Amino acid sequence: MKKFMERVDVSVAGCRYVDLLVPERELYRGAGWFLAAVENGRIVAVREIDEGVSPEEMAAMFTGTVDLSAQGQRLLDWAGEREVYLGMMSCFQFCEPERFGADRLARVARLIVEQVVG
């Protein structure tokens, strides 16, 4: 089995993506930013990056006073020691995958705000 990042292909527009395998498609919940846990080169679990954000945290995003440190900790706890990637799920593809870790939390916070506020 290929390693996960060996599955990455590049579109004619230059976007990196991984076509989801049939078992991975069962995890697909629609388009959006997700974390994907990988074992043996395959996605075995996914989590929306804003899953678990409280209504109060969402409301604070509109005032510019949100503190997403608790959400960051929830995502790090979910990832644990697993091989986890951040990317956009779209049309049975996982797009622009990048390895997830504490160094990506600022990016994740920005993506969450962009998803909620638009």
* Stated pTM of the model: 0.93
Rounded to whole angstroms, the Cα distance separating 28 from 90 reads 9
- Quick: pLDDT tens for 56-114: 888 888 888 888 899 999 999 999 999 999 999 999 999 999 999 999 999 999 999 99
In terms of C-beta density within 10 A (0-12 exposed, 13-18 middle, 19 or more buried), how is residue 102 classed? exposed
- The per-type count for the chain, helices as H runs and strands as E runs, is 4, 6
- Quick: pLDDT tens for 13-31: 999 999 999 999 999 999 9
